[in-house]
Amino acid sequence: MVPISFQSDLTTVSFSRRKLMRRNRALSVLLGLSELLSQSKGLRDLLTQALDYVLEHTAFDAGRIYLMEPDRQALKLAAYRGMDVEGLERVSLDEGFTGRAAKSCSFIAQSVQSLGDVKRAELLASKGIHTVVCVPFVVLDRVEGVMNLASKNPIRLDQDEVDLLMMIGHLIGVAAIHAETEEILRETVEEIQRRKENIKLFVSTIGHDLKGPAVAAFGFAKRLSELYRGVLDERGVTYLEQIFKATRQIACMVDELNHFVRTREMPLKAQRLAVSSLWESLRQEFSAELEKRAIGWAENARVSEVIADEVMVLRALRNLIQNALVHGGSSMRTVQVGCEERENFFVFWVADDGRGIPLEEQGKLFEPFARLKTSKVVDGSGLGLAIVREVARRHGGEAWLRSEPGKGAVFFFSVAKPTPTECGRVPEGE
């Protein structure tokens, strides 16, 4: 081969596969195999096509590809061409050329008559095979499988041919690992999707089949109270109150489950939101209860506008305010809402000066159905803060809290700022 001389710092060599084939057959074969293996396909199709390619570019007449079983005690047939494979579907590591190649991590080329296992030698000879070559798939010094190539005639191999076959085996081994991983991931994703659909169906069924009867029971109990309260004794009145409480709890749970699922599933509709409008909407919504309990309302917004989904953000803030009103205790005198800007996020927060939250209970509060020990006598679903965290995560942020017993609590959630390009596509809030 004539060496190439570079006369300058910049050299241009045009690529030609035809010239590469004439100049370096091994590199050309590897290039073609690499392109074949890079195409996305199932494991069996990939191995079958790879075997076809190898047989096309070598002097072998038939072939089998085995992959290592999970326990690494045997090899399982994964693809074959050009021969009857009855009796060859599984090979232990102590069996034949194939098992020996896998066990010793070695390239093996022998005539069938040299095989120590007489029965296997007779089996292969009966299939018209004279010479067998076993190529281990060595990936990171670990055998992942073996390619067994067979010829009806004697074959002569030099070191270059052996090296080429070993590189072919390595490429097929790597591709097989990736294809198996892709299949596992695809199956996992499909299973997650099925479970997700089941959860949605479950929640929908609950909403339809559970809330209706609960509302009806509440209505009948209310009518019974209106008509017969003067007749019922103290125990009867207590029973009615328990029915009211239980049915309200069921309805609340169903509503929160629906909100939780919708928060996860509904498309994110980002738009420009005036923070002052958010505060005004929430203040009006809670004004009656704030006034009744003589609780002050304070706003502390350091930004005038954010970009987020209005429905989701309002839901998260509403949940945090309700959480403060329910769990803040009788000593609470103020609820404060705020929003501030940080480098990559807008951070919303709701603070109260109530009884606070014990440190040992803070870590789990954003989990679904987590409730404070002190809230067992309070109506609630245990999903309010989980929805807040889901809203934050849908916006690329997170939710957290800061609290000390007797010193109130502050709940935060962040929403990621959009990029300048994304900002240009965001519509104005209505």
Q: What is the pLDDT of residues 224-259, one digit of tens each?
A: 888 887 788 888 888 888 888 888 777 777 777 777
What pLDDT does residue 170 have? 95
Q: For residue 2, with 0-12 CB atoms within 10 Å meaning exposed, 13-18 middle and 19 or more buried, which class applies?
A: exposed
Q: Which of 326, 342, 330 is nearest to 252 (CA)?
A: 326
Neighbours of 129 (CB within 10 A): 20
Q: For residue 26, with 0-12 CB atoms within 10 Å meaning exposed, 13-18 middle and 19 or more buried, which class applies?
A: middle
Contact 197, 190 (CB under 8 A): no
What pLDDT does residue 278 have? 94
- Which regions of the chain are under pLDDT 50? 1, 377, 430
C-alpha distances (whole Å) from 82 to each of 39, 48, 61, 129 are 24, 11, 7, 11
C-alpha distances (whole Å) from 390 to each of 77, 120, 384, 410 are 46, 61, 10, 18
Neighbours of 166 (CB within 10 A): 15
What pLDDT does residue 412 have? 96
What pLDDT does residue 207 have? 62
| Residue 175 DSSP class | H
3-state secondary structure of 193: helix
What pLDDT does residue 381 have? 61
What pLDDT does residue 138 have? 94
| Residue 350 DSSP class | E
| Distance (Å, whole) CA 182 – CA 162 | 30
In degrees to the nearest 10, what's the CA dihedral of 294, 246, 319, 284?
-50
What pLDDT does residue 195 have? 79
